[in-house]
Amino acid sequence: MNPIDAFDRVLASLHQAALDDVRWPATAALIDEACGAAGNGLMVGEGSGDDERVLFGQFLYRGESRPDLVREYAEVYYPDDEAPRRLRELPAGRLFPTSHLYTDEQLKTSPAYNEAWRRYRGQNGFGARLDGPDGLRIVWCVADPVAARGWRSEQVRLIESLLPHIRQFVRVRQALVGADALSAGLAGLLDNGRIGVLHLDRGGRVVSANAAALDVLRRGEGLSDRGGALRAARPADDGRLRTLLKRALPGFGEQPPTGGSMTIRRPSPGPRLELHVSPVDAARADFGGRRVAALVLVVDPASRPRVDPVRVSAALGLTPSEGRVSALLAEGRPVREIAAAAGYRQSYVRWLLKQVYRKQGLPGQVALVRRVLRILDAYAPPRP
């Protein structure tokens, strides 16, 4: 596959997978094919030292998910694996060979390198740390090359060129998780009331918007749609927004569209708005017609859903402390904010959440947030 064509195909597939998590295994398989890799994996974590926690992990080999290997790595190898600690010390957004994440002595003695990564086909692969929002760490790993001759220079360059796009893919997915909008699809997102959604055409004009986005635009909270185009109130933010939209909506003959994220300052005091821009189906021929070409997600931290911890505790059979941290988690707060709001140590918050997962038979944060939000919907008053 031509490297340029391979990059364009992977990028288009990433844009689709950002809006529909069902497409991610096929996208991961396409990445493996384009890069000549046996597989690739994603991990997302936060904290450090005793407060460190892995929030998500997935290994895929040519699109086949291996949760058994994830469990084994998490339980047996991760606590003593030297590579994640080394990645935290190295610059973000850079690609490093797996062997460079261990000292010469560790290459001889490390169980993770000599046992896990040999069986997981990762000893000759790559790893990169991609910093995410709210102090989250995104780690993307690429497994060994399938060719016996090893990596070719164009394959390595392709992997490096994908790093910012993998980071953006994860950031969009995280925003959709927070809005309980996984697999909603482009049209279905307009019905979601927990996140602002705008559809833009190729000229950057607003084609449609949901109620949450319209509320932000009407209030003039740093964003407007003057003349039908999305604009930021502050000149510095507007310049960054124009650059972001130009990359997501390139003109004739320009580079393939790419997504990106930024924050918008409000005219009045308050937390900044978060914007995530994602191209939509760039390969589709529209013959100049006005169609949706980019999706803009607007996250307003000030309008997080307020979750009643007493109701959560009663509905799920939790202790008051467990109900409180579960409610704050469902409001979209990271662990450090939950700890500050509740007056707990971060390690205690994580312990409480583990207790909730065990009681509810849930695999982690995403499943708990979904369950709590379903409770909110069940108790919500009927719409007029």
Task: Flag residues of the chain having pLDDT under 50.
Answer: 283, 381-384
Q: What is the pLDDT of residue 292?
A: 84
- Residue 231, number of CB atoms within 10 A of its CB: 17
59: tokens are 């290994």
Give the closest residue to 74 by CA, choosing from 106, 38, 44, 37: 44
DSSP-derived pairing of the beta strands 206-209 and 223-224:
unpaired
DSSP-derived pairing of the beta strands 40-46 and 137-142:
antiparallel
Q: What is the pLDDT of residue 147?
A: 94
- Whole-angstrom CA distances from 117 to 55, 65, 229, 249 are 21, 16, 49, 40
Task: Tell me the C-alpha distance between 208 and 177, whole Å.
Answer: 22
Q: What is the pLDDT of residue 24?
A: 93
Q: What is the pLDDT of residue 183?
A: 67
241 torsion bin: left (phi>0), alpha (psi -120 to 50), beta (else): alpha
What single letter denotes the amino acid at residue 62? Answer: R
DSSP string spanning 210-264? Answer: -HHHHHHHHHTSSEE-GGGB-EESSHHHHHHHHHHHHHHS--TT-PPP--EEEEE
19 φ, ψ to 5°? -95, -15
- Whole-angstrom CA distances from 283 to 12, 158, 251 are 7, 20, 14
Give the closest residue to 368 by CA, choosing from 74, 139, 55: 55
- Please tell me whether residue 278 adopts helix, strand or coil conformation: strand
Q: What is the pLDDT of residue 190?
A: 85
DSSP-derived pairing of the beta strands 53-61 and 96-97:
unpaired
Count Cα neighbours of 384 within 13 Å in the Cβ-side half-sphere. Answer: 0
